[in-house]
Structure 1
Amino acid sequence: MAPDALSATFAALADPTRRAILARLATGEASVKELAGPFQITAPAVTKHLKVLEHAGLISRSRHAQWRPCKLEAKPLREVADWISQYREFWEGKLDRLADYLTTLQAAQAAAGKGQKDDHH
């Protein structure tokens, strides 16, 4: 995914209304009117959100006679997940090494504490 496309996707996902629209579209196609229903916003406001989502490639719109359904496009979300996965793997590796170090440190402290108790008896 190109950095500009990635930025557009993250910008689109930054808004909770747009995320809710995507969640709704995950259940199937919907019109602007259907998407506006659950929100306290006007159809033109939903249309603005849809334009941002469409620009990011997260949705597509088609035309069937008078009905213009919006459809979720999964590719940008997969690309974001792949990008995030790289960093998750990096940090999980770091955290695993930290956990190993702490376990070693705790074992050494426990052994040192046992040695001190044995010296006092």
Structure 2
Amino acid sequence: MQHEDPVVQETLERIHSQVTNNPVVIYMKGSPQMPSCGFSSRAAQALADTGEKFAFVNVLADATIFEHLPKYQDWPTFPQLYIGGELQGGCDITIELAESGELKKMMADANAKHEAAAEA
């Protein structure tokens, strides 16, 4: 994950830290309470509907993350959902996971694993 530009390198390291330190994190336009696009709104609502904890990063409030997040996992659009450090995908995939019941299970497993590691 080395990059010649120090700003890009620092941003990618910050993203990596957010992804690995939060069991569930969504990079979205706006916040779950005040989404700034329909895709972010639907994805955040699917996460909220599980009742599980999740973090979010408002990419509109951080220009460097907005610019460089697509380079992190080669995913060009927002929102981006990470569970257990792994990119799951965007809005459509999040909705599909929610409809199948898989989203709640994945989030619960990631949150439980994170809490167990924190207690160890």
Verify same fold: TM over 0.5: no
More helix by share: 1
Per chain length, whose mean CA-contact separation is higher, i.e. which structure has more relative contact order (CA < 8 Å, sep 6+)? 2
Q: Greater strand share, 1 or 2?
A: 2
TM-score relative to the length of structure 1: 0.30
| TM-score of the superposed pair, with normalisation by structure 2 | 0.30
